[in-house]
Amino acid sequence: GEDVEQSLFLSVREGDSSVINCTYTDSSSTYLYWYKQEPGAGLQLLTYIFSNMDMKQDQRLTVLLNKKDKHLSLRIADTQTGDSAIYFCAEVGDNTDKLIFGTGTRLQVFP
Amino acid sequence: NAGVTQTPKFRVLKTGQSMTLLCAQDMNHEYMYWYRQDPGMGLRLIHYSVGEGTTAKGEVPDGYNVSRLKKQNFLLGLESAAPSQTSVYFCASTGHPGEQYFGPGTRLTVT
């Protein structure tokens, strides 16, 4: 079945770049997503990439997709304390009504 | 435009009691979802709906029932609560399965 995997924790210094990685198994995924969950809140869509793209940049966020290796990454430039949150990658394949979420990566930013 | 709202925000139940969680959205979305979030487990889909009057099982449906009598509302019922159902419950809605809008969550404790 479909599976999405992420490492559980990442700790970075304020001002550095953060890279959060994700691997997925469903080769038919048409879109891949990154969601952010701040403490005590629901998830918010951060960005997404279409499967025929290799890269997408949105201000401090860069999404890289390696479709051959089924690897997705989210790079946050100049990481700030406000970026501390849990980040989830997710995929939805063709003809499916559901998102498959990874287990989430907790990003901790220290001064 | 309130987005997705959930009622109640917190609840404590005794084993065997029943309750209903209400999710409401004002974005005219067709799709609605109920998830539970437990530490280290990510988000797990309980039930979902692709339109008014429809429901479908997700990954962990046992012990829960749902109804979608009106397009804007999605109800999650626990008929006989068990301690294993202690969790944070999130509702989400969308017009496209990937771009989901989440409610703030309901924290449920079953003693």
pLDDT tens-digit profile of A12-36?
999 999 999 999 987 777 889 999 9
Chain A CB contacts of B40 below 8 Å: 8, 103
> Is the Cβ pair B90, A43 closer than 8 Å?
yes
Nearest-by-CA chain A residue for B49: A97
Task: Give which of A22, A30, A19 is closest to A4, Cα–Cα.
Answer: A22
Cβ pair B10, B72 in contact under 8 A? no
Per-residue pLDDT tens over the stretch A69-104: 999 999 999 999 999 999 999 998 666 788 989 999
- pLDDT over 90 (residue A10): yes
Give the integer Cα–Cα distance in Å for A81 and A65.
26
Mutation target vs A (from B99, B101, B106, B107; most A CBs, 10 A cutoff): B99
> Is the Cβ pair B97, A97 closer than 8 Å?
yes
Q: SS3 breakdown of chain B: % helix, strand, coil, rounded to 5?
A: 5, 50, 45
What's the whole-number mean pLDDT along residues B34-42? 89
